[in-house]
Homo-oligomer: A and B are copies of this chain.
Amino acid sequence: MDIKKRSDCPISSSLDIWGDKWSLLIVRDLMFSKQCTYGDFLKSDEKIATNILASRLQMLETNGVITKQDHPDSKAKVLYKLTQKGIDLLPLMIEINLWADKYFTLPQERKAVIAEIEKDKEAFIKKQIVDFLDDDIPVSPIIK
């Protein structure tokens, strides 16, 4: 779980944290759902293995991208949320979506979001960020 910086390059340093096949999917789930339990992540379509999930959550927490907190309803549950550092990955996630929109066939429900982004990227980002700052929003279902 230690960070091995391969170089001083910002791209390289970023990849050292979330440059694997799973980390950004965890971030994605949190962007759509605002907060997730361990089990929520396991329900995602990609079917991450539980040990890999545990190690990625640890990595992302260690590097300040996500935080763990007590679930208000139960001591058995844990809530994972994005930190500001994690929320700041939103523009990056948007660009991935736009790139994918150009080169893949996207699921229909995702196309609507893309259309909104393409209409006014800055407005979309601002709206999303405001959503994150409000802490008492209901947990929306995960869309992948």
Q: A126 interface residue, CB < 8 Å from B?
A: no
Indicate which residue in B12, B20, B46, B85 contacts A7 across the interface (CB closer than 8 Å): B46
Q: Mask for A86-123, Cβ within 8 A of B = 1, else 0?
A: 00110111111111111110110010000000000000
- Interface residue SS majority, chain A: helix
Number of this chain's copies in the complex: 2
B45 engages A10 (CB within 8 Å): no
Q: Which of A21-29, A51-59, A69-77, A128-136 contacts B (4 or more CB under 8 A)?
A: A21-29
Report the nearest B residue to A92, measured CB to CB.
B95
Residues of B within 8 A of A93 (CB): 11
Give the CA-CA distance A88 to B19 in the complex, in Å. 19
